[in-house]
Structure 1
Amino acid sequence: MTILSRQTTQEESELGIPLSKVCYIIIKAREFDAKDVQTDPDPGSNPSDDRDISVLEEHEDDPAEEELRSLIDALSVDEQVDLVALAWLGREEYPDDWTEVRAIAAEEHNERTAAYLCGNPLLADHLADGLSALDLNCGDFEAAHL
């Protein structure tokens, strides 16, 4: 095992959420964030006729948002706290110290974590930046799953 692998394992153990879960949530957040505003609320056409272009637009019953919310809701409290702390760390609005930002996130935790995080239009970027601040990334996970 190389020194880099040991460092990553040690830093990853600071997280109460597996890196693979964070990476999967980042991918789902990118799918959700990539949506464009709805241009035609009632197109009246067949999806096969319009090349399914409406899938790229925001809708009230957006399956990408529903999946992202259900993923976050299904996390344990510790995992939700870590996810919020990572987003805050990536937003650079809180201290760079993981222990301190995680303690603040734990103190602020409530039952609206999914709604709060899904309301962040840069969630994927903030989570990725938070991981980067901990010298972690999703490169291997993305290569294996995309």
Structure 2
Amino acid sequence: MINVNPETISRLIALAQAFHAKEDVVIPQEPNSPSDDWALQALADHADDENFNEFESIIDDLEPDQQQEVVALLWLGRDDAPLEDWDALLMQAREQWNDRTAEYLIAHPFLAEYLRAGLDMHGYESD
């Protein structure tokens, strides 16, 4: 069970889709962890993007444990581990957490699909 409101996750999905649909967004590779700083460099050109700004605002308004849940949801939806290992994913997200969660998340080109899959695995329907 997740503690982040599924409607909040659905809004993040919509914003990620809109952000990644733009032709000028190029993200060179998958980040390995939330602490990787290359995501900041890749996203520097998009600081004035309305979708990114709203996405970042929503993430920044979440408590750290909720941010960690969103990261774990990404990893779950990406098939890094099965649902049975949800607690281990949360623990890993806690250990790797930093204040650049929004940048880490949005740097994944398939973020919307991963979050949607993670929600589905938890039994929630996403829009």
TM-score, normalized by length of structure 1?
0.66
Residues 75-86 of structure 1 correspond to what in structure 2 (within 5 A)?
75-86=62-73
Deviation >6 Å, runs of 4+: none
Aligned alpha-carbon RMSD (Å) = 1.8
**Mean CA deviation greater in 61-70 or 83-92:** 61-70
Which residue matches 1:37?
24
Count residues in correspondence: 107
| Aligned partners of 1:17 and 1:78 also within 8 Å | no
Relative contact order, higher structure (CA 8 A, sep 6+): 2
Of the three residues 125, 129, 137, the one matched with 2:125 is: 137
| Aligned partners of 1:72 and 1:113 also within 8 Å | yes
Cα separation, partners in 2 of 1:19 and 1:37, compared to 1, 3 Å: same
| Bigger Rg over Cα | 1
Q: Does 1:116 align with 2:104?
A: yes
Which residue matches 2:4?
17
Structure 2, unaligned runs of 5 or more: 26-44
Aligned-residue offset at 1:135: 2.1
Could you report, residue by residue, the CA deviation over 1:50-73 in whole angstroms, capped at 9, with x for unpaired residues? xxxxxxxx8552111111111111
Could you report, residue by residue, the CA deviation over 1:84-119 in whole angstroms, capped at 9, with x for unpaired residues? 000000111234321221121112111110110111
Query: What is the aligned-residue identity percentage?
Result: 36
